Structure formats: structure tokens, C-alpha cells
């Protein structure tokens, strides 16, 4: 079950909210936990036990770390190994087998395991909790229900943001509710829903048509690159908006995950704005423990590359993800070694063109499978192996989807947000009336698309 489905919007969410607000405060966590298990069971029934076992392991290890100070490092390692073992087994086993077969000319059969939805996200949540308990940044949670509620919270279980235990530690004990916060959550949810259904899903039509078009032109390769770049942003940021909005409805304040990354003037800035919770997770739990930039230059460069290879692998068990991670690792090193100073001096529009060019190339690598496809798509952008620059079919796609491209490009910047903020200052009463009406109309349009349209799962579910 996904947020952008009629079942979730008209059955699951209303029932969950009604029960949640009817019951006394002391059982709200229990309701949330049961609701989250039901939500996960509908999407992945056979892996609910796996998630519960993972939570139980983290819970026990946390208590052992606090109780046995002399042996706490052993328990930390044990907890991390168990959590990562589940992740590696289900996500990377076939990738390992494929590469062993390729290197040693082996014939080991693939396991063809289904990937448990959200395992990458909830594994990182549990690791951050156990490390923070070990370093005494947070107190161990001795109430299993509260820890289980934190890990399994359905709004951010499937695709983040990666909420740390310290962020909602107090809210697990006591949450504040108000109509203003709830309505803000509804507003944020609708905005995310619009991003997903009205922009990302429309762009997915262009992306999906890429594999069916027989005669690809240079123009069509660029249409594909632009479409996948915009689709991934609106799909993932739309999910994050919905997750943050749902969190507010249930009394939680989740961290922001995106901050208009496509206006960045460097790759360094881009990764401060894109998937913020993942970037800070790798910084705090991998980069800094490795020594960060407080070591010699060679080790510092090693630390950056290790982080970005792992970032690529985290997204998927394939070489294109590793290559994608390495691309950013190398670019970040180049920027830190001097390119940043140059980017600060040149006109802003040139630095933004550089970032968007890199990002588009990156997402083409990210979205295709196999090195041959990467070579074909990257080459196609520059006319290599392509007979025509333009044809009638590519012009058709460009003209037919021009409006959604323009809307998506504008919506990926703070332009609309800034206009609304200015209008709120000049004509606050009018905006206070028009905003809820506009949001309601947008919700109706989204529901209409869901009734008439086809199912489009969130891209990040497969990562």
C-alpha cells in the first residue's frame, strides 16, 4: 500500500486517525505500532516478522550496552552486524553471486529473494539508535513498544526521511496536538501528493516510453534525461512531504529531507539539499568515525570515496549505483581541492548549469541497468551511436510534455513558495481563504487521476 492510493486515502488513513485520536494518550503508541504493522503487512506480509526480529535484536542490544559497560563495544558490533546481515542477505546476495560467477566462471544459482520494502531505511534507523546509545547521546529505551513504534512508524517506514531516535525521543513519551499543526500536516501531505501524482507520474509516461521508442534521437535522449531527473525529485520529495505531513497529523516533527536541490551552485551544495537525512547519516556514522577531514590528505580522500561507494550501494545492488556514487565522490573531491573557489567566482547561472548537467548525467546512470545501457544513454546525449539529432517523434514528445516540463522546473525552485509568502504579507486574509480552497481542489484533481489512472509505485521503494 502506498500513500498515493485510494485505499490509503479513503480507508486506512481516516480509520487510523479516528482510532488514534479516540484512544487515551497512554495507548496511542500501541495504536501507532499496530497500525504500522498492518500497513507493512498489506505491502509485505511475509517480512513483518523480519522487521520485528530486527527491532527486538536492537532493543536487547541497547539494554546490554547500558548494563555491561566493559563489554558494550562487543554488543555494539553484534547489533550492527545482525542488522546489516539482514540487509546484505536480502539486498546484496544475488549481486554477490552474480559477480562471483562472472569472476570465477561459476554457476551458483541466484536466490531471487524479494527485497523487503523499506529495509534500507529502518536498518539505518536502528543502527543510528544503537550507536547513539553506545556513545551516550541518547538514553537506552527500555520500553520495547516505544522503540518498536519509532522504527516501524508507517509514515516514514518505506522511504524515509531517515528519522533518528534523538529527533523524536521526547515525542515518543509526550506529543502536543493542535488544529494548526494538524492542518499544516494535511497541507504538506496534499502538496506531496500533488508532486507525486500530477508531476512525477506524468513524467513517468515519458520515462517509460523511452524503452519503447525504436528510433532514438539526440533530442529524445535529452528529453529522457530531463524527465528522469525531474521525476526522481518529485517522486521522492513528494513522498518525503507526505511523510512529514502524516507525522504532523500524528504529533511528530520529522526532519526536512529536501531543500530545493536543483538551485544548487555546486555539487557540495546539492548534497546538502538532496536527501538531507541520508547525507547527514553517512556523515555522522561513517565519515566522521573514519576520521573525516581530520586525517592526512590520502586518508581524507579515502574517507570520501568510501562514503560515496557505500551511498551508491545503499541505493541498490548493481554496478550502476556504485558508479553513480563514485561519480559524486570524485566530483566532491575535485570541488574540495579547488573547484569550489572557481564556482564561487563565476556567474551563478553558469555554476547552476554545471550542477544540473552533472545531476542529469548522474540520474541517467542511476536509472538504467547495465554498463552497456549506461554507455548507450550517455553516448546518445552527445550524438554517439545516434543517426539523427531530431525527428517527428521526439518533437511530438517535446511539445506534448512541454507544459509539464515548465511546471516541474518552476516547482523545483522556491519561486512559487516566495510568491505565496509575499502575498501572505500583502493580502493575508485573501490567501488564508484561497489556500485551503486551492488545496481542496488539488486534492480532488489528484483523486480523479487515481480513479482514472494506473498504479505507479514510488521509485525509492525498490532502493
- Cis geometry, peptide bond prior to residue 414 (ω within 30 degrees of 0): no
Burial code (b: 16+ CB inside 10 Å, e: under 16) for 42-53 equals ebbeebbeebee
What cell does 334 get? 575535485
Write down the residue that cell numbers 590520502 correspond to.
298
Rounded Cα distance between 153 and 34, Å, is 10
Cα separation values, 146 from 11, 29, 170, 200, 203, Å:
26, 7, 11, 35, 40
What is the 3-state composition of the chain as percent helix, strand, coil, each rounded to the nearest 5? 75, 0, 25
Report how far residue 324's alpha carbon sits from residue 326's, in angstroms, rounded to the nearest whole number.
Answer: 5
Taking residue 431's Cβ as centre, other Cβ atoms within 10 Å add up to 17
User: What does the alpha-carbon distance between residue 419 and residue 233 come to, in Å, rounded to a whole number?
Assistant: 21
Question: Angle at the Cα of 233 (from 227 to 234), degrees rounded to 5?
Answer: 90
Backbone angles phi, psi at 420, to 5 degrees: -65, -40
Q: Catalytic: which of 61, 71, 275, 315?
A: 315
Q: Is 61 a catalytic residue?
A: no
Active site residues: 315
Amino acid at each position: 500500500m502506498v500513500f498515493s492510493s485510494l485505499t490509503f486515502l479513503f480507508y486506512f488513513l481516516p480509520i487510523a486517525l479516528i482510532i488514534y485520536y479516540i484512544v487515551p494518550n497512554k495507548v496511542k503508541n500501541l495504536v501507532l505500532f499496530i497500525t504500522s504493522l498492518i500497513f507493512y503487512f498489506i505491502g509485505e506480509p511475509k517480512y513483518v516478522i523480519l522487521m520485528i526480529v530486527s527491532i527486538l535484536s536492537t532493543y536487547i542490544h541497547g539494554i546490554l550496552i547500558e548494563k555491561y559497560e566493559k563489554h558494550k563495544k562487543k554488543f555494539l558490533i553484534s547489533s550492527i552486524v545482525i542488522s546489516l546481515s539482514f540487509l546484505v542477505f536480502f539486498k546484496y546476495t544475488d549481486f554477490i553471486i552474480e559477480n562471483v560467477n562472472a569472476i570465477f566462471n561459476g554457476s551458483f544459482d541466484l536466490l531471487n529473494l524479494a527485497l523487503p520494502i523499506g529495509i534500507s531505511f529502518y536498518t539505518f534507523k536502528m543502527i543510528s539508535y544503537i550507536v547513539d546509545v553506545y556513545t551516550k547521546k541518547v538514553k537506552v529505551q527500555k520500553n520495547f513498544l516505544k522503540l518498536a513504534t519509532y522504527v516501524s512508524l508507517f509514515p516514514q517506514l518505506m522511504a524515509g526521511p531517515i528519522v533518528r531516535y534523538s529527533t523524536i525521543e521526547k515525542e515518543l513519551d509526550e506529543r502536543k496536538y493542535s488544529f494548526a499543526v494538524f492542518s499544516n500536516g494535511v497541507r504538506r501531505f496534499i502538496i506531496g501528493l500533488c508532486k507525486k501524482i500530477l508531476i512525477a507520474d506524468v513524467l513517468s509516461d515519458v520515462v517509460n516510453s523511452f524503452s519503447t521508442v525504436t528510433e532514438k534521437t539526440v533530442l529524445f535522449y535529452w528529453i529522457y534525461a530531463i524527465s528522469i531527473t525531474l521525476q526522481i525529485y518529485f517522486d521522492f520529495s513528494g513522498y518525503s512531504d507526505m511523510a512529514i505531513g502524516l507525522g504532523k497529523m500524528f504529533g511528530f516533527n520529522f526532519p526536512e529531507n529536501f531543500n530545493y536541490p536543483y538551485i544548487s551552485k555546486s555539487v557540495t551544495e546539492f548534497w546538502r539539499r538532496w536527501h538531507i537525512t541520508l547525507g547527514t547519516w553517512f556523515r555522522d556514522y561513517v565519515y566522521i568515525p573514519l576520521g573525516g577531514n581530520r586525517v592526512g590528505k590520502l586518508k581524507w580522500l579515502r574517507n570520501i570515496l568510501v562514503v560515496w561507494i557505500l551511498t551508491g550501494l545503499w541505493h541498490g545492488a548493481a554496478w550502476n549505483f556504485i558508479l553513480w556514487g563514485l561519480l559524486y565522490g570524485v566530483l566532491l573531491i575535485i570541488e574540495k581541492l579547488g573547484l569550489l573557489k572557481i564556482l564561487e567566482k563565476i556567474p551563478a547561472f553558469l555554476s547552476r548549469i554545471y550542477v544540473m548537467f552533472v545531476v542529469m548525467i548522474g540520474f541517467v546512470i542511476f536509472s538504467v541497468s547495465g554498463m552497456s545501457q549506461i554507455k548507450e544513454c550517455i553516448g546518445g546525449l552527445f550524438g554517439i551511436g545516434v543517426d539523427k539529432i531530431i525527428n517527428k517523434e521526439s518533437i511530438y514528445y517535446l511539445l506534448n510534455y512541454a507544459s509539464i516540463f515548465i511546471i516541474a522546473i518552476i516547482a523545483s525552485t522556491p519561486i512559487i513558495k516566495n510568491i505565496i509568502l509575499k502575498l501572505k504579507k500583502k493580502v493575508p486574509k485573501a490567501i488564508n481563504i484561497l489556500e485551503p480552497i486551492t488545496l481542496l481542489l488539488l486534492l480532488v484533481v489528484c483523486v480523479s487521476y487515481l480513479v482514472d489512472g494506473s498504479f505507479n509505485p514510488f521509485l525509492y521503494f525498490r532502493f
